[in-house]
Structure 1
Amino acid sequence: MRIVNQKDFAAGAIYVLAGGGFGIGAFNYTIGEAARMGPGYFPLCVGVLLVPGRAGHHGHRRAPPRGHRRPEAARPARRRRILGAVTLFGLLLQPAGLVVALAVLVVVSSMASHAFRWKGTLLNMVVLVAFSIGVFIEGINLQLPLWPTFLR
């Protein structure tokens, strides 16, 4: 067997090792069954899904069609802005509350788009905040702060 692409081979090896680790580690817990899942059920499923993930890939790639553009999320500056938005959300959630953290998440990640418009961003923010409060706070009674600590 000849390895055509070293990066693909390394990625496949990492998937196989991670999947094997999850699968073997799951047997330290009760697996259960689909109707009554034990704590080892999910790690076993993750392991089973990761192991064959790269098995059918042989490194043959077609060249992109002429005039092909990379997706917007694949551009490095946009990727950094989106990852920064998610990181800010995680850092702001406890001290600033859900409303402020979601507002920052939506505004910063929306700025990563070339089609950024304030009107659409603010509408998206209002809908996402209302939906999140309805589902997570009212629906499943998740104990998250809604507002910053100085307003509580």
Structure 2
Amino acid sequence: MKIKSQKDFASGLMFIVVGIAFAWGATEYAFGSSARPGPGYFPFGLGLLMALLGAIVLFKSLTIETPGGDPIGHIGWRPLIIILASVLVFGFCLPRLGMVLSLPLLVIISALAGDEFHWGEAIVVSVILTAGSWVIFIWGLNLIIPMWPTFLTGN
């Protein structure tokens, strides 16, 4: 069997591996029921859905001809490292700086990964994302996420 699209083949394999890993990891948590889903319910379903999508993309890569085999180009290491670093910085800063400072930091560092960086756009997105996250996670779901830096709250 000949691979007719290298990009789709690699993408399909990646989706299958990540999907199965998520579904497998979700089996460690209680599933609950459809009426009252537990913490493993959503990641398990999402993992299976991701693996199914990967299988479809993989099948497409083996059956549908693409011009020149659609080779995989070079990997953009700089954006990959910047995005990974922004997530690590967010994870480190959230308990210490709270959501008000950590989310804008995440957005601004992530925006540096692109070819064009504009402070105005990054600040607007930061404000919208922070407000939306507060509405969804703190006000709507009542999750205990620090909103303000620990040096302001005394915790």
TM above 0.5: yes
Residues 16 and 51, structure 1, Cα contact 8 Å, conserved in 2: no
Aligned match of 1:142: 143
Consecutive unaligned residues of structure 2, counting only runs of 5 or more, are none
1:3-152 equivalent positions in 2, closer than 5 A:
8=9, 12=13, 15=16, 19=20, 22=23, 26=27, 32=33, 34-37=34-37, 41-42=41-42, 45-46=45-46, 48-49=48-49, 50=51, 53-54=54-55, 56=59, 57-58=61-62, 61-63=66-68, 75-152=76-153
Consecutive unaligned residues of structure 1, counting only runs of 5 or more, are none
% identical aligned pairs: 30
Residues 137 and 144, structure 1, Cα contact 8 Å, conserved in 2: yes
Report the 3-state secondary structure (helix = DSSP H, G, I; strand = E; otherwise coil) of the residue aligned with 2:104: helix
Across the two proteins, how many residue pairs are aligned to each other?
A: 140
* Cα root mean square deviation, aligned: 4.0
Q: Which has the larger radius of gyration?
A: 1
Residues 18 and 47, structure 2, Cα contact 8 Å, conserved in 1: no
Shift of 1:117: 0.9
Residues 81 and 112, structure 1, Cα contact 8 Å, conserved in 2: yes
Residues 15 and 53, structure 2, Cα contact 8 Å, conserved in 1: no
Write the distance in 1 (CA, Å) between the matches of 2:18 and 2:84.
26
Write the distance in 2 (CA, Å) between the matches of 1:19 and 1:93.
29
Shift of 1:114: 1.6
Write the distance in 2 (CA, Å) between the matches of 1:21 and 1:141.
25
- Taking a change above 3 Å as real, the CA distance of residues 37 and 83 of structure 1, as seen in their structure-2 partners, is same
Q: Larger helix proportion, structure 1 or 2?
A: 2
Cα deviation code 1:98-128 (max 9, x no counterpart): 1111011011011112221111111221222
Identify the structure with bigger relative contact order (alpha carbons < 8 Å, sequence gap 6+).
Answer: 2
